[in-house]
Amino acid sequence: MNMSANIGKNDEPVTRQTFDDVMVPVFAPASFVPVRGSGLDLWDQNGKHYLDLTGGIAVSGLGHTPPEIVDALVEQAKKLWHVSNYFTNEPVLKLARALADATFAEKVFFCNSGGEANEAAFKLARKWAHDHFGEKKNRIVSCYHSFHGRTLFTVTVGGQSKYTEGFEPLPPRIDHIPFNDIEAARAAIDDDVCAVVVEPVQGEGGILPADPDYLRSLRRLCNEKNALLVFDEIQCGMGRTGTLFAYMGYGVVPDIMTSAKALGNGFPIAAMLTTSEIARSFSVGSHGTTYGGNPLAAAVACKVFETINRPEFLQRVVEAGEKLKFSLERVAADYPDVFSGVRGKGLMLGLVMSGKYQGRAKEITAAAEKQGLLLLLAGYDVIRYVPALVVSDEHIEQGEALLRKAIDSWLEEN
Ligand SMILES: *Cc1c(COP(=O)(O)O)cnc(C)c1O
């Protein structure tokens, strides 16, 4: 801290270096600083252009600064931002109504991030089991390689020990099973289980879709053992897989579902959805939030939801997903040494590194960045494609051309 600095005066230019100087080092951001975006176009401080196929990690479903969402934000910003939960507000009521009308859910709880939505879901599952079956029914079963957030509870439910190491003691009675392994699920889900938590398509864990049979089996096992089935649709929901929520494509209905990421197109908002019967286990004061469901976030999400929840929009996601998949498959086929294949669902796809280049996906995304193409990783072996849902055929073609250039230049150096 610089005590002699002029308070309120802050005209020093900020650069990428400033991040290392003053930010807690939990991230390693790219070498440039984006300053402006439109659709899938992004520009940095130097005016350099990038084709952004990261979708802000499956958040900017409608791309950067979509005019109709900007309008909704500005309009609400002039009316009412925040009133606290001593009051309700029109945008949040409209949003809850829209979500309930469109899904299995009858009740919605709003908060500000995916982690918070899952925290609410896991607390509700524990409370529900406690209310109906007593305190011994409290075990949570989740999958290895899953990701559910960074609060201590949600990170422990997540199946990646690298994220919990050093943070012990962890919340107890949370067990992990291999994803897509029905026998392991059968062995793990007993009468003491209150909730089984799963991402219908694992995101951070490597873009792995659940087998339809697996989700059906989890549903059946939960019914048999009186456990709640919780779907974390924070990444795979909101149109990403070609249906409004992924569970609809699978035809397996959860008891609790969480949504976040694309729900606000980058304006922080998240939701936990459930039935009236289960929601009754939360009563006034048993859970809460200061910002959750504030009018500004809700107005934005209302417009986002209205835009995505249209048959034409979702049909285009399916079509764009197929085109992107073909494009990535062509690349994989032309570089059989580098890639082993493509997997995923809708516009949630992973280009998987081959054994020869195991652990080196990051080198390709770095080479792509040099070409002006922004891509994401899921682990060390998967290049993750979760672009804006409004990605055009031209974007897909440009993306393929830039990716090929990046691979060629990288291969030359290796
Ligand atoms: C991103 C993500 C979360 C966490 O969301 P935050 O908003 O970062 O708290 C949880 N679950 C899944 C599946 C996610 O992709």
Domains of the chain: 3-65+311-413 (3.90.1150.10), 68-308 (3.40.640.10)
pLDDT digits (tens, 9 = 90+) for 322-367: 999 999 999 999 999 999 999 999 999 999 999 999 999 999 999 9
**Whole-number Å distance between alpha carbons of 96 and 110:** 9
Residue of 52, 232, 255, 381 marked active site: 232
Question: Is the separation of the CB atoms in 383 and 392 below 8 Å?
Answer: no
Choose the residue to mutate in 261, 267, 345 for probing ligand 1, maximizing ligand atoms within 8 Å of C-beta: 261
**DSSP H or E stretch at residue 141:** strand 139-143
Query: Which residue has the CA at smallest separation from atom 10 of ligand 1?
Result: 148
pLDDT score, position 2: 55
Give the pair of three-digit tokens for residue 337.
């040494």
Q: What is the pLDDT of residues 85-141, one digit of tens each?
A: 999 999 999 999 999 999 999 999 999 999 999 999 999 999 999 999 999 999 999
Looking at residue 9, what is its pLDDT?
Answer: 57
Can you tell me which residue has the tokens 């908002």? 269
Please give the full DSSP string across 170-227, using - where no structure is assigned.
PPSSEEEE-TT-HHHHHHH--TTEEEEEE-SEESTTTSEEPPHHHHHHHHHHHHHHT-
- Binned at pLDDT 50, 70 and 90, residue 12 comes out as confident
- Show the tokens assigned to 88: 């309700």
196 and 141 in contact (C-beta within 8 Å)?
Answer: yes
Residue 8 has pLDDT above 70, yes or no: no
Ligand 1 atom with the shortest distance to the CA of 116:
9
Instruction: Work out the burial of residue 411: count CB atoms within 10 Å of its CB; fewer than 13 is exposed, 13-18 middle, 19 or more buried.
Output: middle
Whether 325 is catalytic is no
For residue 320, what pLDDT band results from cuts at 50, 70 and 90?
very high
Q: How far is CA 374 from CA 49, 91, 377, in A?
A: 10, 34, 10
147 in active site: yes
Which amino acid makes up residue 33?
A: V
As a whole number of Å, the CA-based R_g of the chain is 22
Protein residue whose Cα sits closest to atom 5 of ligand 1: 114
Of 274, 289, 296, the closest CA to residue 108 belongs to 274
Q: List, chain by chain if needed, residues with CB within 6 Å of any ligand 1 atom.
A: 113-115, 118, 147-149, 199, 203-204, 232, 234-235, 260-261
pLDDT of residue 144: 98
Alpha helices in 262-310 (DSSP H): 276-279, 295-308
Is pLDDT of 398 > 60? yes
CA pair distance 196, 25, nearest whole angstrom: 33
Specify the long-range contacts of residues 125-128, CB closer than 8 Å, at least 24 apart. 125/194, 125/195, 125/228, 125/230, 125/256, 126/194, 126/195, 127/281, 127/282, 127/286, 128/194, 128/228, 128/278, 128/281
Greatest C-alpha distance within the chain: 67
Q: What is the pLDDT of residues 367-378, one digit of tens each?
A: 999 999 999 999
Six-digit token pair at 31?
């070498």
Apex 351 CA angle, 350 and 355, nearest 5:
120
For tokens 């039935």, what's the residue? 275
pLDDT tens, position by position, 193-215: 999 999 999 999 999 999 999 99
Interatomic CA distance for residues 280 and 275, integer angstroms: 9
**Ligand 1 pocket test, candidate residues 112, 142, 147, most atoms within 8 A of CB:** 147
Confidence category of residue 11, pLDDT binned at 50, 70, 90: confident
261 catalytic? Reply is yes
pLDDT digits (tens, 9 = 90+) for 29-52: 999 999 999 999 999 999 999 999
User: Is the CB of residue 240 less than 8 Å from the CB of residue 389?
Assistant: yes
Structure tokens at 375: 């891509």
Q: What is the pTM of this model?
A: 0.97
**Contact status, residue 97 vs residue 273, Cβ threshold 8 Å:** no
Least confident piece of the model among 5-19, 104-118, 154-168: 5-19
